[in-house]
A and B are shown apart, each in its own frame.
Chain A
Amino acid sequence: MILIFGGAYQGKLDYALARFGLTEKDVFRCDDENADMPENKKIIYEIDKWILALVKTEIEPTDAVKQFIAQNKDAVVICNDISSGVVPIEPLCRQWRETVGRILARLSGESDEVVRLFCGIPTRLK
């Protein structure tokens, strides 16, 4: 697994598509209304949205994440970094933020490579 994260609109998907020579048909776009397991494509885009869907349905994510990791050993997983703002007032956003943090730490450990994007510029962290 390769994990790519960074703030919103920093060029994460553009970078992944260019680096691996992939196109839109290789991308599964997560949706914050769909808590089903993401489809097994080469790029799983915006996993934070899938996590938000899990949080909304109050499904405990541990098992889902375990299954996700097992199914996506060869995938490029892209996540928005939502960790650096003020603690949100809304309980849903607070829980989302913490859950994304815990899951990203887990995925980072499972990944062969971790890349952070800043203004379209990649930095390899692992």
Chain B
Amino acid sequence: MKSGLVTALRYGDAMRIFISGGCKNGKSYYAQQLAKAQATDSLYYVATMQSADSEDDERIERHRQERDGWGFATVEQPCDIENILHECDSGGSFLLDSLTALLSNEMFPADGDMNEHAAEKITRGLNRVLDEVENIVIVSDYIYSDAMIYDALTEQYRRSLANLDREAAKRCDVVLEVAYTSLIVHKGKEVFGGVDEKIL
């Protein structure tokens, strides 16, 4: 599988890749493969999760162990995503995992009122990042196809994340959906050749 993705990436130049899909279906693993494969120099993992409890601590630790040996330098950036530009070489390769966590952090700050304009704020920050960074894989979560009737707040979070996703997808060269370890290429087939099929 690894060789398939690496070969696919060699077809094109630097790429901004957006990847989404349902939970626990292999998104993060693909995203790590892709970020690693397009790295020529520094490789950054932009960590966005803010730990709220011991369950989060365990999840963060599990992700950290999974990344062990991949060569990522971890940058903690749960808010103000544009600040990664101060800390990192913008010529490096980035893995941003995930928009979902960024939005939670910005929309529901631990010590303040809800920010209704969090999605717009992140979009602005992300656009600044995308102006400078050419090698990046951005992960989000597809939470839009269930049969629940949500409260207004949850609905606003879903709408905000979808808007953020759509803005990111517009700016990215490649848009991928992971469907239980299969990849669907929604955008950028011409640059992301060769893996438009089941590769696991």
Contact = CB atoms under 8 A, between A and B. Distances in A.
B18 A119 contact: yes
Which interface class (under 10, 10 to 19, 20 to 34, 35 or more) fits A?
20 to 34
Contact of B147 (A10, A96, A119, A120): A96
Contacts of B146: 82, 84-86, 88
A6 B162 CA distance: 12
Contacts of B145: 7-8, 80-85
Contacts, number: 69
Nearest to B162: A9
A121 to B, nearest CB: 4
A11 interface: yes
Highest count of chain A CB atoms <10 Å: which of B147, B162, B163 = B147
Given A9-B162, A84-B22, A121 B149 contact: no
Nearest to B158: A8
Interface stretch (B90-98, B102-110, B169-177): B169-177
Highest count of chain B CB atoms <10 Å: which of A6, A8, A100, A118 = A118
A97 interface: yes
Interface string A24-43: 00000000000000000000
B180 to A, nearest CB: 11
B28 interface: no
Contact of A118 (B147, B148, B159, B186): B186
B144 interface: yes
B121 interface: no
A76 B70 CA distance: 48
Interface string A82-98: 11111010000110110
B149 A10 contact: no
B134 interface: no
Contacts of B142: 7
B169 A119 contact: yes
B175 A121 contact: yes
A123 interface: yes
B170 A120 contact: yes
Interface in B124-149: 142-149
A84 B149 CA distance: 14
Contacts of B158: 8-9
A7 B134 CA distance: 29
Interface of A: 6-11, 80-86, 88, 93-94, 96-97, 100, 118-121, 123
**Nearest 7 Cβ contacts at the A-B interface:** A85-B146, A7-B144, A9-B162, A97-B147, A84-B145, A119-B169, A82-B147
